[in-house]
Amino acid sequence: MKKIFVMLLSLAIVFAASAQKGVGTHYYRYYRPRTSVVVSGGYYPYYPTYYDYGFWGQPNYYHRPSKLTLEIEDIQSDYKDRIWSARHDDRLTKRERKQKIRELKSERDLAIRDAERNYYRS
């Protein structure tokens, strides 16, 4: 009788533990500081922890984008919105929509080329 009671008690504990959801490291992330050692012998530093990126992927070294990059991103986002609007315009036929999208894409490419030319000329 005592053995049966101990077995039932152990089964109850196992079932109670398995019913717990989200407990442990499966759902919760913990903070782990990422350190890197840089050995430099001049202009080209060597990063010995190159492949030790861990769970979050490659480290994101912040750099300030150039004016050209910002201008190109602005042009692309503007034309992306225009293309989306043309693609979802129900007043146009399918043929007119395709033509409008092609025109907008060519205008976008021309605007990007003009921005590059102006950036490198000045």
Domain ranges of the chain: 67-121
Model confidence, pTM: 0.49
Residue entry with tokens 């919105």: 81
pLDDT in tens, 86-116: 999 999 999 999 999 999 999 999 999 999 9
| Position 39 pLDDT exceeds 60 | no
Cβ(87)–Cβ(109) below 8 Å:
no
Res. 46: pLDDT tops 90: no
Q: Is the pLDDT assigned to residue 20 strictly greater than 80? A: no
Torsion of CA 99, 105, 106, 107, to 10 degrees: 110
- So what's the pLDDT on residue 12? 83
> Average pLDDT over the chain, rounded to whole?
79
